[in-house]
Amino acid sequence: MDSSAPLNRRTLLNHSVLTAGAAAGSIAALTGCSPQQGAPAAAQMPSAVPSGGGTPVRVGRLADLAVGATGSAKANNKNIVLYRPDETSVLAYSAVCTHAGCTVAAAGKKFDCPCHGSSFEAADGTVITGPAQRPLVPLQAAIDGDWITVSL
């Protein structure tokens, strides 16, 4: 076939359909890699710098979090995960996954992200399994009588 032959209508339509199909397939593939709907953009996600210079807020009763257990709370519209390693201390972290901004959940002695499978160590917030690369953001937590407080 002569490559300098004029392009007829059928050939033009075939090429257009193939190009449109390839573009649609690429968009569909990239959409599967996007963060959970409603998840914050990377620029809005918290850094791994410890937070908590604010006012202590009661997030739960100490009796509701057994020694060695993890839990979750919400205060000032922020999701928080908690871990009580011993009788005298409580650790708190932002529940925002550092991978794509989804909310992690308490799971034994770790926190799991339901979106892409990252897991974080409850004792220090470090990544157990990715795709997350950074630890959870620690928050300042304390025991105040019968209450767990977190500075926000």
* DSSP-assigned letter for residue 6: P
Tokens of 121: 């160590």
Q: What whole-number distance in Å separates Cα of residue 73 and Cα of residue 76?
A: 10
For the stretch 75-132, pLDDT in tens is 999 999 999 999 999 999 999 999 888 899 999 999 999 989 899 999 999 999 889 8
Q: Domain residues of the chain, as ranges?
A: 42-151
Q: Are 36 and 118 in contact (CB under 8 A)?
A: no
- Write down the CATH number for the domain with range 42-151: 2.102.10.10
Q: Are 110 and 97 in contact (CB under 8 A)?
A: no
Task: Say if residue 77 is exposed, middle or buried (CB neighbours under 10 Å; 0-12, 13-18, 19+).
Answer: exposed
Work out the mean pLDDT of the chain and round it to a whole number: 78
Q: Are 137 and 79 in contact (CB under 8 A)?
A: no
The H or E element spanning position 60 is strand 56-61
- Place 30 in a pLDDT band, splitting at 50, 70 and 90: very low
